[in-house]
Structure 1
Amino acid sequence: MAVFVALGAFLMTLAGGWTAQHVTDRRHLVLGLAGGLMLGVVGMDLLPEALAAAGTEVHGVPAALLLFVAGFLLAHGVERLLAARRSAHGADEHERTPEVGLTAAAAMVAHSAMDGVAIGAAFQIGEGMGVAVALAVIAHDFADGFNTFTLTTLYGNARRRAVAMLFADAVAPVVGAASTLLVTIPQPVLGGYLGLFGGALLYLAAAEILPEAHHRHTAGPTLLCTIGGAAFIWLVVGIAE
């Protein structure tokens, strides 16, 4: 049952990626929307789930928040190291690095796999719980597909790579749900991963996606798209609750 329901997430992810591909003439609006979606996913979905799953404290601070900060710094450090390497080889330090886009997209795929695990684990508790979690995952997987394609192409990767990462992101929830038929991931481990991933995603939204969205474009419409993206995630989370 869990695997069958996860097919809905597969289709919704592809729908999000298809949408991102067909609005290239309004790229700055796409990026503004993606930034808002990412901000909403981090603040209203990933962090609350991470804190609930990994609630233990380390020296007075929840472990999930420590990993959130670590994820932010890790993303920043990786980008700076890649930029320094490009600079050492005579390339522009601020030129987009394809590896960053692929790494970010791979993190989205891993997150989608965890979504599938969440669906499978919920169905182990009960069918009602499984359906509720599945609806929440399916609703926000549109944003996941949208962001996966956008992140991959933003950093200069070819369209075929972006499509490949999008397909991997779509398949991941199905694989994650199927894996729960064999193993169960401890909640603290799952919570820690969500915190780490949330920090990295926030860095990409704040330091890369949104600055690029406002580069050489009127701020008003792009800002509205960003607010709309965050509000959409708020709506999805509210309905899921």
Structure 2
Amino acid sequence: MAVFVALGAFLMTLAGGWTAQRVTDRRHLVLGLAGGLMLGVVGLDLLPEALDAADTDVFGVPAALVLFVAGFLLAHLVQRLLAARAGLEGHGRTPEVGMSAGAAMVGHSAMDGIAIGAAFQVGGDMGVAVALAVIAHDFADGFNTYTITRLYGNARRRAVAMLVADAAAPVAGAASTLLFTIPEELLGYYLGLFGGALLYLAASEILPEAHHQAHHLRPARSTLLCTVAGAAFIWLVVGISG
């Protein structure tokens, strides 16, 4: 089931790359919705599940919350390192920088697939909720993978190849979880770590980019409504499945 659902991430990533070649004025709405879905999954589903699965404390703080903060900081560190490298080496638009950044996106997408598989080990409802968040933000992943690869002077065929690799990575990651079962407590730790990284992506990448695309007041309101709708949808899903 996890592999089948991960195919949605495959298709959404390709859709993001296709959109990168033909940018439309509706991208801000898609990104706004994606940010809301990710926020809802982290706050309303991932964190409660992580806290329930990993019930140990570290210096008086639930271990899942410690890892949640660690996941946020780790994602921030990786993003800053990539940005610093691009700043140092990107003046000449060297293709290697674009390929390195694209490869980092592929690795991130593989971890998304593992998160889908791990969530399905908890239960079908949890798996669907995590998959929705991953599929939603994989549009942006596909868009960014193609864009950044091309930005640094790589040929279109290289950018397309990196896009296809990024699209296939979640399927491979989800398939890998069929080979092993993650212990419940370890799963709680992983979900806490993944939740922190997912929140960072939503708060620092997806939502700012969505509102950057909405230059006028009316589109900005529409983007905000899409974000609220995404979070409310996850609340509805959690309420019905609970």
Q: TM > 0.5 between the two? A: yes
Per the alignment, residue 212 of structure 1 pairs with 209
Aligned pair 1:80/2:70, yes or no?
no
109-118 vs 72-81, greater mean Cα deviation: 109-118
**CA displacement at 1:102 relative to structure 2:** 5.1
2:173 counterpart residue number: 172
Per the alignment, residue 69 of structure 1 pairs with 69
Deviation of the 1:85 alpha carbon: 2.3
TM-score of the two chains, using structure 2 as the length reference: 0.75
Distance change in 2, residues 1:8/1:235 (3 Å)? farther
Q: Normalised by the size of structure 1, how large is the TM-score?
A: 0.76
- Is the 8 Å Cα contact of residues 6 and 134 (structure 1) preserved in structure 2? no
SS in 1 for 2:212: coil
What per-residue deviation string (whole Å, max 9, x for no partner) do you get for residues 104-151 of structure 1?
5534432432432453x46xxxxxxxxxx2254235524422312312
Matched residue, 1:234:
235
Partner of 1:29: 29
Q: What's the RMSD between the two structures over aligned residues?
A: 3.0
Query: What is the identity percentage for the equivalent residue pairs of Structure 1 and Structure 2?
Result: 50
Structure 1 residue matching 2:182: 3-state secondary structure: coil
Which structure 2 residues correspond to residues 82-121 of structure 1 after superposition, within 5 A?
82-89=82-89, 91=91, 103=104, 106-119=107-120, 121=121
Distance in structure 2 (CA, Å) of the matches to 1:105 and 1:90 = 20
Amino acid at match of 1:221: S
Matching residue of 1:129: none
Question: Residue 124 of structure 2 is aligned with which of 119, 127, 134?
Answer: 134
C-alpha distance in structure 2 between counterparts of 1:204 and 1:20, whole Å: 16
> Are the structure 2 counterparts of residues 139 and 202 from structure 1 closer, same or farther at C-alpha, using a change threshold of 3 Å?
closer
Gaps of 5+ in 1: 123-132
The amino acid of 1:9's aligned partner reads V
Q: For structure 1, which segment, 156-165 or 47-56, has the greater mean C-alpha deviation from structure 2 after superposition?
A: 156-165
Structure 2 CA distance for aligned equivalents of residues 97 and 64 of structure 1? 34
Q: What's 1:149 paired with?
A: 139
Alpha-carbon distance, 1:154 to partner: 2.5
What runs of 5+ residues in structure 2 fail to find an aligned partner? 150-158
Query: Amino acid of the residue matched to residue 170 of structure 1?
Result: V
Cα–Cα, structure 1 residues 46 and 103, in superposed 2: closer, same or farther, change >3 Å?
A: farther
- 1:42-61 to 2 correspondences below 5 Å: 42-61=42-61
152 and 114 in structure 1: CA distance in 2 versus 1, 3 angstrom threshold:
same
Using the alignment, how far apart are the partners of 1:154 and 1:59 within structure 2?
39
1:201 aligns with 2:191: no
Shift of 1:50: 1.3
Conservation of the 8 A alpha-carbon contact between 1:44 and 1:233:
yes
Match of 2:91, SS state, is coil
Question: How many pairs align?
Answer: 219
Structure 1 59/187 Cα, relative in aligned 2: closer, same or farther at 3 Å? Answer: same
One-letter identity of the residue aligned with 2:38:
M
